[in-house]
Structure 1
Amino acid sequence: MVEIRELGRNKEELMHFINFAWEIYQDDSNWVAPLKSDLLKLFLGSDISKKLDCGPHTFFMVFENGKPLARALVGINEKMNLKKNINTGYFSCFETVNSTKAVKCLMDHALNWLKKQSINRLIGPLYPNDDVDNRGLLIEGFDSSPVLMTSYNPTYYQQLLEEYGFKKDADFFAYYCDNFDMARARVDKIASFAMKKYHFRIDRIDLKQVDLEIKDLIKIIELIVAHGQEEENGFEYSSPPSYEEFSLEVKKLLPFVDRDLIYIARSGDAPIGFVLALPDYNQVLKKMNGKLLPFGFIKYLWYKNKIDGIRGFAQYVIPRFRNKAVNAAIFQKILLAAEKKKYRYIEGSSINENNLKSRRVFENAGIKPYKIYRVYHKIF
């Protein structure tokens, strides 16, 4: 008999929730296991970012004769709902066996839980209050492992969600570049021309002055928000961060930063845009299989210096400098650094299919999408 349980907020129950993913992906060589300890901290609310503090949430698991079939984290981002004047819930950490009845049981209970809190729309899969991590369901591009902080799932998830009644809300593209010479040949002229014509320069973010740099980065985001352009700049499913939230996120990433991959554009002393990229630490996580101890940390130290990929995951330009090739000029710097430091590839992700300005940065350089992620919605 199929039954559903709402899990308790304790280590034992939540570890059942976490460990279920290993059952789904045990024979999938492309899957990259997350760190179990990080997930447990997130779920218990003891992580630095406090992402689940955005609103009420719960953990559902479906079982049949004691065997787990499906799971999901279901919640409400109250800050986003208030900002956008909507009544929307989200689902995250969705995993399931290939079973229509399991998904129906799971989602029926998710909708009932949300209805009791006056919610009438469900979106997902999404990471809580985050438009960078694991956004959307992978629907194209299953032939390679995911890069850092991107989604991966079995191919059958799409059919199961759509059979339940979920509709496409938006698709997001990932771009892959491993021909740096071709990309630079197209970007170099554009970047040089734009910097001279529009009077801006590209600076490497100074990690020795990180607090001052963070203030400039948040100024850029605040200007974007003030002009009502946050959804055009990646905040489709979350609310723009406060200075404190953004500072925490940046500082959390500092141990993993390659200082040659993070740049800010300035006109005079005024910050006008930035792009952040990180080495693809999924190459390391894949070796660790979700465990930091006893040998995971040793593997981390060994493999982190062998990373040969990059993920560019954040690009913002203030309204006055949009359409002036600011992102292209920063991308030129990242390409130069990638060549110099012997990186093999760069992924830029994930970009809303309707964000043509950001897509052109890659497509004008001859780079095409190679993965597509879909966020779904269901009105009830």
Structure 2
Amino acid sequence: MKKIIPVVSKKELAAFIDFPHDLYKDDPYYVPELFIAQRDLLTKHPFHKHNKLQGFLVYQEGKVTGRIAAILNNAHNEYNKANDGFFGFFDCINDQETADLLFKVAADWLKDKGVTGRFLGPVNFSTNEPCGLLVKGFDSSPVLMQTYNFPYYADLIDKAGFDKDVDLIAWHWDGNNYDDKSVRLLNALQERLKRNNIVIRKINVKNFKEETAKLREVYNSAWDQNTGFVPLTDDEFNYLANDLKLILDGDFALVAEQEGKIVAFGLALLNYNEIFKTIKRGRLLPTGIFKLLFGKKKIQSLRIYALGVIDGYRKMGIEAVLYGTIIKNYTARGLKWAEAGWTLENNTMINEAIIAIKGNPYKTYRLYQKQI
């Protein structure tokens, strides 16, 4: 007998967060999320000020067999002039009845909130956070802030009546196997930018609050044409920025500035998932904190997380200089491989540019949709 309940109490929230640890306990590629980070995401994130989320759990014979969150993203609906609902935090045993129960309870909750448009996901809360179902590239662990799931999830979602909305591509570089043209031309490109009073510099962590305000403007401007994009509020961007500040590395956090105005930024992150993978059930205490503190020097990979240029400054060479600088520093640090992603499958310009520098499309994440 299956029983589905809404997540209300602290005990239920802990069960919601912990379920993937049990589901994936024998999977060599699974990376546990930090418990404290997931708890804060689900309860304290500024997203909750303007939007709604409700988690649900399926129990069978006293054990959790599935979870899902129904998400009403008012910012998405207002920005896109839509009336959509989302699902996220979806994890499930390989059982269609359980999956169907989860999707039904999430859809019913959204209908009760007045949603009449599409039912989209998986997103944890929007495309600004980890999103997409892994449908290609199951032979390695996810990098920092990317999703992971069993291959059978796609069948569960397909049989629940969802169709593909769009695919997201992650790109891989192994060691020094990249086109170093952007590195070789770096000095010449920087000189050309200087003639337009554009300089590349590291993000100023000591003046982080002011930097963050400027970076938010670039972020919301550079990605505003992307499928599923939702502008971040001040509070949401500050929350993200403060999280990232804890793991920022100056060699990989760069901005392009023209006379005090930030017009672009490139951000790559050391792949802390290499450490998180060793932290049992995502608990920092009692020993996980030491793995986190002392494991940084052992990290061997990098995620190129974001690279954006505002309109009017594209095709000036800024992208090439940001990328070239990150690659130059990546090589100097002796890192073994890098991932860039994700990019939209229909972003032909950026995808062709990545292919030209020998990026390998090694993972695909899918967003699904159906009528509510």
TM range (shorter): over 0.9
Distance across 2 between alignment mates of 1:178 and 1:259: 22
Q: 2:144 aligns with which of 143, 148, 151?
A: 148
C-alpha spacing 1:223/1:321, structure 2 compared with 1 (3 Å): same
Map of 1:77 onto structure 2? 73
1:169 to 2:165 alignment: yes
| 8 Å contact from structure 1 (residues 218, 243) kept in 2 | yes
Aligned to 2:342: 350
Deviation string, structure 1 residues 86-134 (Cα, Å, up to 9, x no partner): 11111111000111111111111211111112213211110114x2432
Counterpart CA distance in 2 for 1:248 and 1:66 is 36
Whether contact under 8 Å (1:186, 1:364) holds in the other structure is: no
Runs of 5+ unmatched residues, structure 1? none
Say what the alpha-carbon RMSD is for the aligned residues: 2.1
1:1-380 maps to which residues of 2 (within 5 A)?
1-8=1-8, 10-43=9-42, 45-46=43-44, 49-120=45-116, 121-129=118-126, 131-180=127-176, 182-185=178-181, 188-189=184-185, 192-193=188-189, 196=192, 199=196, 200-221=198-219, 223-224=221-222, 230-232=224-226, 236-289=227-280, 290-380=282-372
Unpaired segments of 5 or more residues in structure 2? none
Looking at structure 2, the residues matched to 278 and 337 of structure 1 have their Cα atoms a distance apart, in angstroms, of: 12
Deviation of 1:187 after TM superposition, in Å, equals 5.4
Of 195-204 and 132-141, more deviation after overlay is shown by 195-204
Matched position secondary structure for 1:363: helix
Letter in 2 for 1:31: Y
TM-score (norm 2): 0.92
Q: Once the two structures are aligned, what percentage of the paired residues are identical?
A: 29
Distance across 2 between alignment mates of 1:259 and 1:4: 47
Give yes or no for contact 2:252–2:268 (8 Å, CA) kept in 1.
yes
CA distance in 1 between counterparts of 2:317 and 2:347 reads 15
Deviation at 1:320, TM superposition (A): 0.9
Distance 1:222 1:372 in 2: 24
In the alignment, is the contact (CA less than 8 A) between 2:51 and 2:72 conserved in 1? yes
**Partners in 2 of 1:31 and 1:256 — Cα distance?**
21
Q: 1:357 is aligned with what amino acid?
A: M
The residue matched to 1:69 in structure 2 has which SS? Answer: strand
After superposing the two structures, state which structure 1 stretch, 136-145 or 311-320, moved more.
Answer: 311-320
Letter in 1 for 2:26: D
Alpha carbons of structure 1 residues 244 and 2: separation in structure 2 relative to 1, 3 Å: closer
What code does the residue aligned with 1:56 have?
A: K
Whether the 8 Å contact between 1:56 and 1:75 is mirrored in structure 2 is yes
Q: Secondary structure at the match of 2:277?
A: helix
The code of the aligned residue for 2:349 comes to K
Give the match's secondary structure for 1:114: helix
1:207–1:41 distance in 2 versus 1, CA, 3 Å: closer
The CA distance in 2 between the partners of 1:87 and 1:191, in whole Å, is: 49
Q: Structure 2 vs 1, CA of residues 17 and 243 (structure 1 numbering), >3 Å: closer, same or farther?
A: closer
User: How far is the alpha carbon of 1:223 from its aligned partner?
Assistant: 4.4
The whole-number CA distance in structure 2 between the counterparts of 1:147 and 1:267 is 33
Q: Report the CA distance shift for 1:288/1:87 in structure 2 as closer, same or farther (over 3 A).
A: same
One-letter code aligned to 1:286: K
Letter in 2 for 1:2: K
Change (3 A) 1:248 1:21: closer
Q: 1:230 to 1:2 in 2, by over 3 A?
A: same
SS of equivalent residue, structure 2 residue 284: coil
User: 1:57 Cα deviation (Å)?
Assistant: 1.7
- Cα offset, 1:269, TM superposition: 3.7
Bigger shift: residues 17-26 or 317-326: 317-326
SS in structure 2 of the partner of residue 321 of structure 1: coil
Aligned length in residues: 368
Corresponding letter in the other structure for 1:310: L
3-state SS, counterpart of residue 182 of structure 1? coil
Q: 2:33 is aligned with what amino acid?
A: P
